[in-house]
């Protein structure tokens, strides 16, 4: 039998699970208050349960992270994002300024990636990359966590890294999503990753890069949503090709969808 989220929390954060433990008020499955860097207990509940499939475009990070992408491809990406009213475009850092220029006057945000797709760069490099991406105009950043550190249970090191990058982001009102690459993790590691990311003060936990063995799965999104509660972001990405998949993932708890097939997805809506 799998351990509960509460049991995993007590295992890795025993200092929180004592007789005088404070019960969390943010409805996270961890039960014990994580004493997060940013408390979301007073945040409003997002309307996840009232999802209308016709609004799926509002959830979309319209994505092109291919290594051989051309500038013309990014022009098209931006044009499509404006035409279909997607939430953002998601591109590699070298293309942030191209997007900013092409999205002037629109509500479409620019999202970029940090330490992508492996997450194995040193913290100082991630911080510098974050500074540069923000200076170029990124509104949101998707950073890959150090998966080796997670597997070796270097929890403090992970929290310190995410906290430092989240601080850089929040100082400039930029949101931070942390990619955990669910296809490489066991059940306990998925739960632990979500706990660490929430405690460290990021804004979203994200399933996948789309560059590994597989992408977003409904059961993983449902698990992550249960761990973090309703007041924290969950982004599903990787292998999302059609409207049915997107609807299933949002219904499972995703508050954002990352896909390079966004236009095809919304075009299925009658």
**Which pLDDT tens digit goes with each residue over 62-108?**
999 999 999 999 999 999 999 999 999 999 999 999 999 999 999 99
Q: Round to whole Å and give the CA distance between 35 and 180.
A: 21
Q: Round to whole Å and give the CA distance between 205 and 133.
A: 19
126 counts as catalytic: no
Q: The whole model's pTM is what? A: 0.97
pLDDT band at 46 (very low <50, low <70, confident <90, very high): low
Q: Which residue of the set 61, 142, 220, 248 is catalytic?
A: 142
231 counts as catalytic: no
- Domains: count for the chain: 1
Q: Round to whole Å and give the CA distance between 46 and 169.
A: 22
* Closest by CA position to 107, among listed 58, 66, 69: 58
Helix (H, G, I), strand (E, B) or coil at 233: strand
- One-letter-per-residue 3-state SS of 134-192: HHHCCCEEEEECCHHHHHCCCHHHHHHHHHHHHHHHHHCCCEEEEECCHHHCCHHHHHH
**160-200: per-residue pLDDT in tens?**
999 999 999 999 999 999 999 999 999 999 999 999 999 99
175 counts as catalytic: no
**For the domain that residue 188 is a member of, what is the CATH number?**
3.20.20.70
Q: Which domain holds residue 203?
A: 5-267
Q: Which residue of the set 206, 217, 220, 248 is catalytic?
A: 206
Q: Which residue of the set 109, 199, 235, 248 is catalytic?
A: 235
Q: What is the DSSP string of 35-63?
A: --SS--TTSPPP-GGG--GGGGGGGEEEE
Residues forming a β-bridge with 175: 140
């Amino acid at each position: 039998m799998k351990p509960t989220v509460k049991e995993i929390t007590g295992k890795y954060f025993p200092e929180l699970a004592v007789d005088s433990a404070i019960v969390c008020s943010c409805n996270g499955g961890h039960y014990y208050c994580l004493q997060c860097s940013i408390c979301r207990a007073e945040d409003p509940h997002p309307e996840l349960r009232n999802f209308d499939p016709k609004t799926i475009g509002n959830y979309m990070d319209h994505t092109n992270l291919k290594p051989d992408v051309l500038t013309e491809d990014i022009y098209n990406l931006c044009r499509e994002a404006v035409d279909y009213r997607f939430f953002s475009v998601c591109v590699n850092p070298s293309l942030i300024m191209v997007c900013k220029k092409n999205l002037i006057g629109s509500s479409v945000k620019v999202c970029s990636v940090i330490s992508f797709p492996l997450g194995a760069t040193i913290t100082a490099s991630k911080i510098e990359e974050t500074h540069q991406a923000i200076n170029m105009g990124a509104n949101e950043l998707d950073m890959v966590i150090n998966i080796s550190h997670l597997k070796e249970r270097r929890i403090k090191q992970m929290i310190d890294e995410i906290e430092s990058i989240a601080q850089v982001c929040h100082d400039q009102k930029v949101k931070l999503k942390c990619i955990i690459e669910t296809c490489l993790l066991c059940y306990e590691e998925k739960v632990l990753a979500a706990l660490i990311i929430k405690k460290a003060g990021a804004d979203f936990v994200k399933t996948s890069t789309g560059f590994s063995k597989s992408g977003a799965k409904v059961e993983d999104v449902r698990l992550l949503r249960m761990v973090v509660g309703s007041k924290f972001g969950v982004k599903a990405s990787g292998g999302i090709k059609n409207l049915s998949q997107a609807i299933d993932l949002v219904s499972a708890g995703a508050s954002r969808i990352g896909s390079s097939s966004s236009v095809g997805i919304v075009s299925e809506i009658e």
